[in-house]
Amino acid sequence: MSSYIIRGGNRLAGEVSVSGSKNAALGIISAAMLLDGPCKIENIPDIADLNVMVEICKALGAQVKRDPDGALTLDPSTITSWEATHDKVRHIRGSYYLLGALLGRFSKASIYMPGGCNFGARPIDQHMKGFEALGATVTIEYGKINVEAQHLHGEHIFLDVVSVGATINIMIAAAKAEGTTVIENAAREPHIVDVANFLNTMGANIRGAGTDVIRITGVQQLPAGATYSIIPDQIEAGTYMLAAALTRGDVTVRNVIPRHMEPLTAKMEEMNISVDTGDDWIRVWMEPERELLAANFKTMPYPGFPTDLQPQTTVLLTTAKGSSKMLENVWENRFQYVDDLKTMGADVMIAGHVAIIAGGSALTGTKVTARDLRAGAAMVLAGLAADGETEVTDINKIERGYENFIKKMRHLGADITRMDS
């Protein structure tokens, strides 16, 4: 098992460029499986989750080629199978978007139950509700989800829970259904807009993505033949911004969409962190005379504070002046990393969905584990702020979602190395 070894205490400084959004890319590569011709997708990060997704698409029969510049050329016209039963389907969460894509293409689909980070029950009832409304029957048998429709048709769908995955999946399935589908109480995350923009570029008719009502008018053909560039990764950007504040550093994060970062930048300013914003960059730094202030957070669907930045933010709060609260509203079991943080000297108490963080702890290095992707990134951040050496194990979970993590961190001045055993 590989580890990162971090010697804490370095102040991060300089510039870092953010890669393409993992979660947008998962949705877009899946949506591409619905097209009637080839397309090119740029700004795809070279990370494990996406490489797995590409493998699954190839196993379905799609032709996928990675260009030297990292762009993917995909031709789904050679797909012959509606069954995504490659073993790796179980490794990533985003593979469930193939349900929507294959259902839209073949009027039937069958895939293994998807995997992904384990931070509590991850139901898919809202995806099923959507597919059923479009005319499909859904069954779960022998670890596989099967959906089948005589005829996919548009419908009004009200989501009972604001779900990113269900919104994207229904949008993909409805893109070629007959008539108009309206998704109400839709999620509004930037990557939902990105999947909609991708499909529209390829010939779809989707309006309202980014609001809580999305209207999809089905088209008979998605001719494709175009090039699309994926948006920057909001969570990767936020991780470097938080690392800058945590090490009392001065970092400019480039290739970002500052509007997507507002839920974080607003809270950073409340905490006395200096933030400056340009067209596609954000500078984060701490004035030496300023003290980091405690703050209370609630994770919410976009434009609320993202749950995927919760663990990294909690680490920052351990170094603030005063007591902070972190309320986790999205996932039921996303504080598993707190035990590791406590072994590093943090004073954090969990009461149900709330973490109460007593600031001002002096973190010290020890051996900790990456429990999931973002919790793993949080452990690395804790190591940057800790005295002495921190070993973070199980780092394949981190490398699932952060492109060139070590290289970017080292470029900013972090003392971090990868140890393979």
Q: Which residues bind ligand UD1 (CB under 6 A)?
A: 23, 26, 93-94, 121-127, 161, 163-166, 187, 307-308, 330-331
Closer residue to ligand UD1 (CB): 237 or 363: 237
> Considering beta carbons, is residue 307 or 361 the nearer one to ligand UD1?
307
**In the beta sheet, which residues pair with residue 403?**
none
Tokens standing for residue 83: 């069954």
φ/ψ (deg, to 5) at 53: -60, -40
**Cα first-last separation, the chain:** 6
Looking at beta carbons only, is 329 or 366 nearer to ligand UD1? Answer: 329
Q: Which two tokens stand for residue 74?
A: 């995909």
Q: Among all residues, whose Cβ is closest to ligand UD1? A: 165
Active site includes 57?
no
Nearer Cβ to ligand UD1, position 97 or 228?
97
Comparison of 176 and 374: residue with beta carbon closer to ligand UD1: 374
Q: Smallest gap, in angstroms, from Cβ of residue 285 to ligand UD1? A: 28
Taking the complex as a whole, the smallest distance from the CB of residue 129 to ligand UD1 amounts, in Å, to 7
Q: What is the Cα Rg of the chain in Å?
A: 21
Is-contact 115 88, C-beta < 8 A?
no
Residues 6+ apart with CB under 8 A from 61: 78, 79, 80, 81
With beta carbons less than 8 A apart as the criterion, state whether 163 and 130 touch.
Answer: no
Q: How far is the CB of 243 from ligand UD1 (least distance, A)?
A: 19
To ligand UD1, the closest distance from the beta carbon of 60 in angstroms equals 19
Rounded CA-CA distance 124/282 in Å is: 36
Annotated catalytic residue, options 41, 57, 117, 268: 117
In the complex, least distance from residue 190 CB atom to ligand UD1, rounded to whole angstroms: 11
Beta strands (DSSP E) in 234-366 are 250-254, 274-277, 281-285, 296-298, 323-327, 347-351, 354-358
Q: Enumerate the active-site residues.
A: 117
